[in-house]
Amino acid sequence: MVTLRDVARQAGVSAKTVSRVVNDDPAVNAETRDAILAVIRRLDYVPDHAARMMRAGTSSVVGLMTDVVATTPYSVDIVRGAQDSLRRDRRTLLIANTEGDADLERDVWRMFRAHKVSGVVYATMYHRPLDLGDPEFGGAIVLANCFSPRGRFPAIVPDDEHGGYTQAAHLLALGHRRIGIVSLNPVLRASVLRGAGFRTAFAEVGVPFDPELDRPGFVGPIESERIVAYEAGRDLLSRPDRPTAIICGNDKIAMQIYAAAASLGLSIPQDLSVMGYDDMTVIAETLRPALTTVGLPYFEIGRRAIETLSAGTPGAKAGIEPPVLVPCPLVERQSCRAIDG
Amino acid sequence: MVTLRDVARQAGVSAKTVSRVVNDDPAVNAETRDAILAVIRRLDYVPDHAARMMRAGTSSVVGLMTDVVATTPYSVDIVRGAQDSLRRDRRTLLIANTEGDADLERDVWRMFRAHKVSGVVYATMYHRPLDLGDPEFGGAIVLANCFSPRGRFPAIVPDDEHGGYTQAAHLLALGHRRIGIVSLNPVLRASVLRGAGFRTAFAEVGVPFDPELDRPGFVGPIESERIVAYEAGRDLLSRPDRPTAIICGNDKIAMQIYAAAASLGLSIPQDLSVMGYDDMTVIAETLRPALTTVGLPYFEIGRRAIETLSAGTPGAKAGIEPPVLVPCPLVERQSCRAIDG
DNA sequence: CAGTCGAGTGACAACGTTGTCATTAGCAGG
DNA sequence: CCTGCTAATGACAACGTTGTCACTCGACTG
């Protein structure tokens, strides 16, 4: 292994001078610097992270803790977003997931302490409140896709309310007035927020919100919920005054609405416009016609989480700060069209 | 920060003795050990990773390098599998992705060296050959979901050939004889291997392989390919001698086959059995009827990769060793049924 | 009883880096 | 010429841990 001293010996300078060059200390003669850089390249010297970390008392590694990665496949974009942001200053990501186990979580905090990570992002795989307890962690903590009830930690979450508004507003702008809703499990925060968004949009154009047209697409306790969007869709679409558009709680629901429409001989978007949520490309781009939907900005959430960390919130905040809301963009494809006449 | 010396002082012993306790060295008096453990718990002492790493010259961290995480959402299960295996010996995962950029990849190798990772898993997001060049990395390297052309590194890959065999054999066992195929982009290795699997299964029951019934579901260069499974499906299903079952290259293709069948008034599984591949639960469990498919064992691949690392292959192997094949299990749901008569 | 052994423990150095402080040379101002 | 200054560099210690070696103290062997 090539060390600072090896480089120093080869370059005929002291270790400290090499250290200065490595750390971009301006107090080094230009010629000396060039000579040392040449030796570094020749020997392919890489500074030892362990030694730096020991001296510095902190490391260039950021911890990422997740609950369950499996549930929504695209939520890993939080990880990609975080990495994208870290790469710029050559920092890296130490990842651990807790699988929802409290003991494991405590171990992970300990491990993060052992590694002297400079900060921790706690990311959940669906948007929810999170009580972090007291992690006894010295560095900064940022929540991604979740938020602490009393606002103790900075949090970055998707703007579900505005996302719901976007769904409804787009269909209303296309002239739809009878709009069905097949929503997420109502226990989910996202479901509640989006509902509020619908209502705002409906109210803005003076369309009454008809509870008859609002059905849950999932039933049962979360984690073991069952999707019933197909039945809900058939039900809505069999009504004499069937809706001309359906807002879905996610793209899976939309997928079943497509099937329900097909089973009743209805074509999308001629007879029915469908609006999804999540922008799971696997579904949205594969459906025929491709699905117009609202995206979950996971990548951006991950990126912002790291930036918030770097901005340096030292430890838990005493005051209450509301979560940062990241907008959910409309992704237009072919499943919505303007209503005739 | 609580150090070994703090614990030692509190317990009235030397630092070395505490070190022994922390490292499960048996040469410590039982009472001394208990006393020290009590102090450790009381002070919540966590051994400093940096210092250990510096002494040891290696760390308990394993590097995971990926090309592009985004493409297939479930391939992140490789990460989960790896973590599952690492957790047992309290090791952790340092993750970096290269986004396919060679410069970035070189940086990542350097970073891994700086961190003295004990080994590296290189995971690709679809099954493909990978030429690693000469990473100048001292530790063990294992490939996951990819393999080096000359077998220089141990590799763990899905057994696509047997997966293809499984798809065909299951339908043949149900009595199907006219079986259509809508396959992956033929440039993919998986596509070739599975094709060989089909042929074996067909040959075993003496059914001729009809190239007329074999259509690509994707066209165009990879990364910008276009899915045409819907058209391929309608085409196959409009034939006078239409197949009674269709084998799909993945679950997205299956999804379009469902749509194609619906557009022609055919019901699944009464009129047509459909067999997927990948077991993307988002699709397979949401389709009506739920999709019978073959799973990609990403979790297991990740787990085995770590185990292979731990088994300790020191550096690159000179000899050629074939990749380890992990079976792709049949996941039965409701989209295939026995043929009448 | 002297010598040997093993169990238990501690002193000390070393890992690679960087902060602190000291040192040198060169130069401007008095 | 001396003082005070800056730019450039180096000597040294310290970060927290653990391997090496040495030590003590009973117990056992011959």
Single-letter residue type at A35: A
| Chain position carrying tokens 């001629």 | A270
Whether residues A31 and A101 fall in one domain: no
CATH of the domain at B305: 3.40.50.2300
Residue of B nearest to A47 (CA): B114
Whether residues A292 and A203 fall in one domain: yes
Whether residues A124 and A142 fall in one domain: yes
Our CA-based measurement puts residue A119 at a distance from the nearest CA of chain B, in whole angstroms, of: 15
> Residue A311: pLDDT band by 50, 70, 90 thresholds?
confident
- Output the pLDDT for position A167: 98
Residue of B nearest to A250 (CA): B282
pLDDT at residue B313 above 70? no
Q: Is residue A88 part of a domain?
A: yes
Q: Is residue B190 part of a domain?
A: yes
Whether residues B170 and B201 fall in one domain: yes
Whether residues B145 and B262 fall in one domain: no
- Output the pLDDT for position B315: 44
Q: Looking at per-residue confidence, does A333 or B152 come out higher?
A: A333
DSSP code for B211: G
Least confident of A36-50, A81-95, A178-192, B315-329: B315-329
Whether residues B118 and B82 fall in one domain: yes
pLDDT in tens, A119-131: 999 999 889 999 8
- Output the pLDDT for position A76: 83
CA atoms lying within 13 Å on the CB side of residue B100 = 7
Query: Contact at 8 Å (CB) between B108 and B122?
Result: no
Q: Is residue B273 part of a domain?
A: yes
- Residues in B 78-97 whose C-beta is less than 7 A from nucleic strand D are none
A-to-B residue pairs, Cβ atoms closer than 8 angstroms: 143
- Output the pLDDT for position A97: 86
Residue of B nearest to A46 (CA): B114
Long-range own/partner contacts, residues A99-106 (CB < 8 A, 24 or more apart): A99/A67, A99/A68, A100/A67, A100/A68, A104/B87, A105/A65
Mean pLDDT score of chain B? 92
Which residue of B4, B48, B287 to mutate against A (max A Cβ within 10 Å)?
Answer: B48
pLDDT in tens, B81-135: 999 999 888 899 999 988 888 899 999 999 999 999 999 999 998 899 998 888 8
Whether residues A315 and A280 fall in one domain: no
Which residue of B110, B251, B286, B306 to mutate against A (max A Cβ within 10 Å)?
Answer: B286
- Output the pLDDT for position A253: 98
pLDDT at residue A70 above 60? no
- Output the pLDDT for position B69: 60
Q: Is residue A336 part of a domain?
A: no
Q: Is residue B70 part of a domain?
A: yes
Whether residues A66 and A17 fall in one domain: no
Whether residues A284 and A165 fall in one domain: yes
Whether residues B46 and A113 touch (CB distance < 8 A) is answered with yes
pLDDT at residue A187 above 80? yes
| Chain position carrying tokens 């149900």 | B174
| Residues of chain B neighbouring A51 (CB-CB closer than 8 A) | 50, 54
Residue of A nearest to B112 (CA): A49
List residues bridging with A227 in a β-sheet. A218
B283 and A CB contact within 8 Å? yes
User: Which of 121-150 (A) contact B at CB < 8 A?
Assistant: 136
Interatomic separation, CA of residue A277 and C1' of nucleotide D22, rounded (Å): 71
pTM over 0.85: yes
Query: Contact at 8 Å (CB) between B337 and B174?
Result: yes
Mean pLDDT score of chain A? 92
| Residues of chain A neighbouring B184 (CB-CB closer than 8 A) | none
For the residues B280-299, what does the mean pLDDT come to? 96
Q: Is residue B258 part of a domain?
A: yes
Domain count, chain A: 3
Q: What is the dihedral of CA B212, B215, B221, B223, to 10 degrees?
A: -170
pLDDT at residue A316 above 70? no
DSSP per-residue string spanning B150-162: T--S-EEEE-HHH
User: Which of 27-56 (A) contact B at CB < 8 A?
Assistant: 44, 46-51, 53-54
Least confident of A5-9, A287-291, A320-324, B314-318: B314-318
Query: Contact at 8 Å (CB) between B243 and B213?
Result: yes
Whether residues B190 and B131 fall in one domain: no
pLDDT in tens, A206-230: 999 999 999 999 999 987 899 999 9
Query: Contact at 8 Å (CB) between B50 and A113?
Result: no
pLDDT at residue A285 above 80? yes
For the residues B300-328, what does the mean pLDDT come to? 81
Q: Is residue A119 part of a domain?
A: yes
Q: Tell me which nucleotides of strand D come within 7 A of a protein CB.
A: 7-12, 14-20
| Residues of chain A neighbouring B111 (CB-CB closer than 8 A) | 90, 92
Whether residues B83 and B153 fall in one domain: yes
DSSP code for A244: S
> Residue B316: pLDDT band by 50, 70, 90 thresholds?
very low
> Residue B320: pLDDT band by 50, 70, 90 thresholds?
low
Long-range own/partner contacts, residues B217-225 (CB < 8 A, 24 or more apart): B217/B182, B217/B183, B217/B184, B217/B248, B217/B249, B217/B250, B217/B253, B217/B256, B218/B184, B218/B185, B218/B249, B218/B253, B219/B185, B220/B185, B221/B187, B222/B185, B222/B187, B222/B188, B225/B185
Residue-number span of the structural domain to which A251 is assigned: 160-297
pLDDT in tens, B232-279: 999 999 999 999 999 999 999 999 999 999 999 999 999 999 999 999
Q: Would you tell me which residues have their CB within 7 A of strand C?
A: A 1, 3-5, 15-16, 19, 22-23, 45, 47-48, 51-52, 54-56; B 12-17, 20, 26-30, 32, 51, 54-55, 57
> Residue B73: pLDDT band by 50, 70, 90 thresholds?
confident
Whether residues A227 and B115 touch (CB distance < 8 A) is answered with no
Closest-lying nucleotide for A20 based on CA to C1': C18
pLDDT in tens, A233-264: 999 999 999 999 999 999 999 999 999 999 99
Which residue of B134, B258, B288 to mutate against A (max A Cβ within 10 Å)?
Answer: B288
pLDDT in tens, A53-62: 999 989 999 9
> Residue A315: pLDDT band by 50, 70, 90 thresholds?
very low
Q: Tell me which nucleotides of strand C come within 7 A of a protein CB.
A: 7-12, 14-20
B32 contact partners, CB below 8 Å, separation of at least 6: B11, B13, B17, B21
Q: Is residue B336 part of a domain?
A: no
Is the C-beta atom of B55 closer than 7 angstroms to strand D? Answer: yes
CATH of the domain at B8: 1.10.260.40
pLDDT at residue B159 above 50? yes
Residue of A nearest to B252 (CA): A286
CA distances from B176 to A49, B202, B246, B272, B338 (A): 60, 11, 10, 10, 7
The H-or-E segment that residue B308 falls in is: helix B298-310
Going by DSSP bridges, is the β-strand pair A226-227/A92-97 parallel, antiparallel, or unpaired? unpaired
DSSP code for B73: G
Our CA-based measurement puts residue B61 at a distance from the nearest CA of chain A, in whole angstroms, of: 9
Going by DSSP bridges, is the β-strand pair B119-129/B61-66 parallel, antiparallel, or unpaired? parallel
Whether residues B167 and B277 fall in one domain: yes
